[in-house]
A and B are shown apart, each in its own frame.
Chain A
Amino acid sequence: MTTHAAADGALISIPALLARNARKFGANTAYREKEFGIWQSWSWLATAEEVRAIALGLMSLGIEKGDYVAIIGRNRPALYWSMVAAQKVGAIPVPLYQDAVAEEMAYVLENCGARFVIAADQEQVDKVLAVQERVKVIEHVVYLDARGLRKYDHSRLHAMKDVQAEGRAAHERFEAELKRREDAITYDETCVMLYTSGTTGRPKGVVLSNRNIIETSKNSAEFDNLRPGDEVLAYLPMAWVGDFIFSIGQAYWTAFCVNCPESPDTMMTDLREIGPTYYFAPPRVFETQLTNVMIRMEDAGRFKKWLFRVFMDHAKKVGPALLDGKQVSGWDRFKYALGDLFVYGPLKNTLGFSRVRVGYTAGEAIGPEIFDFYRSLGINLKQLYGQTEASVFITQQPDGEVRSDTVGVPSPGVELKIGDNGEVFYRSPGTFVEYFKNPESTKDTKDPEGWVATGDAGFIEPETGHLRIIDRAKDVGKMADGRLFAPKYVENKLKFYPNILEAVVFGSGREFCTAFVNIDLTAVGNWAERNNIAYASYQELAGHPRVYEMIQNHVEEANRSIAGDEMLSGCQVHRFLILHKELDADDGEMTRTRKVRRRIVEEKFADLLEALYGGKDSVYTETEVTYEDGRKGKIKATLEIRNAVVAGDTGRIAAE
């Protein structure tokens, strides 16, 4: 393997891949973005030119090798170009979560010491300026969208188009230096630094090298036969490792096209217009889409309902088998083709999935019904398991071996082992270099041989070699009587009901399990409308007796299903309450990638937890909430607590 820089053609950095793509696929479309209602596109050749102009512009602002460049904004071509331009001049791009509040941003900016910030618009610029007092290292801020910024002090604030123009004008001066810097990039230098959202404590900067990104992209692209001409929709946060791998790593490796939506709200329309061939979404997106389909079917006429039911039942029967290329009788095939004509085809078109060849979901467990629904339609939806520290891929499901309860076999080049305590360890070419300025955490996570602890407990199925994840290793515990406690397992069972958006289960070291439940406003709201239930607010709906009744049924049904699992039957939920507010990242209850921060929820709602275990029927509480603009407010509520029937519990009955 070449460790040193680049004779022409050594593909050891993203800029090198860009140069190759411009040479080999120059006329192919590299980027599309919908602007003013029209899809604008850029070829690889045009992209290379734009990136070059940004790079030269950054040089004229005095960027040095090894500088950190923070990138803040929604998915836009110019921001992707900025990342590559930063790499071109030897700097390190650090994408940030755009919905982070100024406070969170300050920490990351200070931690990496970003001299340059590239921000999308006024909203982001305002946040950066607000923390600039504290984070003194920031020297220049470049913005894309000039709106509202005209009157700002421009001594250190620049419009992207001016930076590019300046770069183009100064190319004589910087061209040679730029070439020199680009040639000096080595395979083991940092490609990108991504901050993990951190379910506990401060975010950590994960340093990923060119080797990590390129090897991973190459392996995973080959695994799924990605090719030039594929289309992806880039809509997930740029600060998330998945977006970096899909929209930069794999996109540059295979030279496929990255499409950027017009605005976050138009994502579904844009999805339909683009019809991506390669698609990634967290389970939540699939859930929401399915919920919407079902809600709209409720409002359809009787004939349509009948048609939908008949063909969906058939699809459930033979769809997955057809997708896996298994034996299906001629009659069933004919009926499926008919269904495709009347139901599946139009439905897929509406959802924007007509052309999906490879679809992935990850991050959380996906409900089996949801998963099967999409697969039965003929959408090749698969699961993968990964994390930032692995440059995404640890395991993934090969075509033909897709199941909802496993996360697949080790990705190419990845070795797996299960620790004594059940924790999953891996080693791969994508394994991160280190946590930035944090050797201690690095040492705790990665051993000298390169094995990385995932923090998840799981096991490998002996027959198939597929990995199954049970829970976060540190969350798996024992109940007071010594029985196994795996909260995630129970929470997932609950979350698979469309009416339940989020659930948090407690029980470690306790006599029995209890749960907080968040209702799904879309699903429950629609149900309320159909049942003539009036409500004025989320809080009122959440506390409605009939909503409680419905959720109670779900909990009891889940209990019956949990009782079927010998090992975990102790985890049945004895008491629960419905929370008066949605768990929210702005209040710190979730990470920006929408994972529940268990400890924080436990601390914040300690009074509710106490009531759950104290045997009370209701509890009064006050909760501080943060609004989007950072102001704080309080909501007050009296919450009802319900007991749920537990099925066939071998030991005790709820202590009441």
Chain B
Amino acid sequence: MLDAGTDGYVTEDGRKIGGVLMEMKNITLRFGGVEAIKDISFDIREGEIRAIIGPNGAGKSSMLNVISGFYVPQEGEVWFRGQRRPQMKPFQVAAQGIARTFQNIALFEGMSVLDNIMTGRLTQMKSGLAAQTVWLGKAQREEVANRARVERVIDFLEIQHIRKTPVARLPYGLKKRVELARALAAEPMLLLLDEPMAGMNVEEKEDMSRFILDVNDEFGTTIALIEHDMGVVMDLSDRVVVMDYGKKIGDGTPDEVRNNQDVIDAYLGVSHD
């Protein structure tokens, strides 16, 4: 078992994982009579890659939506950087340093890749409408600085060749990458990825895995991801939370989870009482 103390731990490949960045305490989320999430607690530590897995309908996306502030749980507390997070709008959560990608790509199809990624910098732009329109002095300097950051991300994800291409014209795999780029542009402390590999072929999955590891390594970004592809999850993540029917049925390193009887049952299909 991992040392769950406040000082963090060291991974197999020698990365130092820090203290708790985000903690979910007894979260319960209901939609009318349906309990999507039942009394779940877990933490995400600084610098780690944390996966949430589970069969279809287990409540993974709902969990991610709770973290990103899109859903407000009926019970339980969300703690972020040692403070209890009050009820917030998603944009306020974003401003706190949490960025995400979506299961079904949510980009502005008619805009260029560059413009799409620039929207990721929106939280950093301070100048008002008038200044932006005239585009002199501060507004201009601000845009240049933000563009510089965006260009770093473009370089990092190797999408220079589609910088000016409208998103609608891109193949699926590249759209996914653009979405990641937009999230990265926000320089998040915590990056939430909702099925980053869904619908990709093997080669695209390998590329995406590489990028996720590189992001974590290069920028020290903490990553929480939902993913169906078990191979990918086990390779990428440091710790895994397993959900089934809204409940947490496992939590630990990939190896621990793999040998957990409840998890095996959930995946192989045992009748639920």
- Chain A residues with CB under 8 Å of chain B are 35-38, 147-148, 150-151, 262-263, 265-266, 269, 627-629
Contacts and interface: CB of A to CB of B under 8 A. Distances in A.
A265 B151 contact: no
Contacts of B161: 263, 265-266, 269
A150 B218 CA distance: 8
A36 B217 contact: no
A263 B218 contact: no
Nearest to B15: A151
Interface stretch (B67-75, B124-132, B152-160, B262-270): B152-160
B160 A151 contact: no
Interface in B148-203: 148, 151-152, 154-156, 158, 160-161, 163-164, 203
Nearest to B206: A629
B256 interface: no
Nearest to A262: B160
A148 B154 CA distance: 16
Interface string B1-40: 0000000000001100000000000000000000000000
A619 B217 CA distance: 51
A362 B102 CA distance: 49
B11 to A, nearest CB: 11
B151 to A, nearest CB: 4
A37 B160 contact: yes
Nearest to A627: B203
A250 to B, nearest CB: 28
B151 A148 contact: no
Contacts of B152: 36
Contacts of A269: 161, 164
Nearest to B210: A148
A73 to B, nearest CB: 15
Contact of B14 (A35, A36, A38, A151): A151
Given A265-B160, A265-B161, A36 B13 contact: no
A235 to B, nearest CB: 13
A542 B106 CA distance: 36
B109 interface: no
B13 A151 contact: yes
A35 B155 contact: yes
A23 to B, nearest CB: 35
A295 B33 CA distance: 57
A263 B158 contact: yes
18 contacts: A36-B151, A36-B152, A36-B155, A37-B151, A37-B154, A38-B151, A147-B156, A148-B214, A150-B217, A150-B218, A151-B13, A151-B217, A262-B160, A263-B158, A265-B161, A266-B161, A269-B161, A629-B206
B236 to A, nearest CB: 15
Interface string B216-232: 01100000000000000
Contacts of B163: 37
A263 B217 contact: no
Contacts of A37: 147, 151, 154, 160, 163
Contacts of B217: 148, 150-151
A37 B206 CA distance: 26
B207 to A, nearest CB: 11
Q: Is the interface of B mostly helix, strand, loop or mixed?
A: helix
Contacts of B13: 151
Interface of B: 13-14, 147-148, 151-152, 154-156, 158, 160-161, 163-164, 203, 206, 210, 214, 217-218
A400 B160 CA distance: 40
Contacts of A36: 148, 151-152, 154-155
- Which are the 7 A-B pairs with shortest beta-carbon distances? A265-B161, A36-B151, A37-B151, A266-B161, A262-B160, A263-B160, A266-B160
A147 B156 CA distance: 9
Of the listed residues B13, B147, B155, the one surrounded by the most CB atoms of chain A closer than 10 A to its CB is B155
B215 to A, nearest CB: 11
Contacts of B148: 36
B109 to A, nearest CB: 20
A38 B163 CA distance: 12
B25 to A, nearest CB: 34
Nearest to B148: A36
A37 B162 CA distance: 12
A627 B148 CA distance: 35
B214 A147 contact: yes
A318 to B, nearest CB: 36
A431 B228 CA distance: 60
Nearest to B151: A36
Contact of A147 (B151, B206, B218): B218
A628 B206 CA distance: 12
Nearest to A149: B217
Contacts of A263: 158, 160-161
A36 B210 CA distance: 21
Contacts of B158: 263
A265 B161 CA distance: 6
A495 B156 CA distance: 38
B166 to A, nearest CB: 15
Contacts of A150: 217-218
A154 to B, nearest CB: 14
Nearest to B202: A627
A150 B14 CA distance: 12
Nearest to B154: A37
Most buried by A among B14, B151, B158, B160: B160
A150 B217 CA distance: 8
Nearest to A34: B160
A629 B206 CA distance: 10
Contacts of A629: 206
Contacts of B14: 151
Given A263-B161, A269-B164, 8 more contacts: A36-B148, A36-B151, A37-B147, A37-B160, A37-B163, A151-B14, A263-B160, A265-B160
A148 B151 CA distance: 18
Nearest to B218: A147
B253 to A, nearest CB: 19
Nearest to A36: B151
A237 to B, nearest CB: 19
A282 B163 CA distance: 27
Contacts of B160: 37, 262-263, 265-266
Contacts of A148: 210, 214, 217-218
Nearest to A263: B160
A64 B218 CA distance: 35
Contacts of B156: 147
A35 B210 CA distance: 22
Nearest to A261: B160
B141 to A, nearest CB: 16
Contacts of B154: 36-37
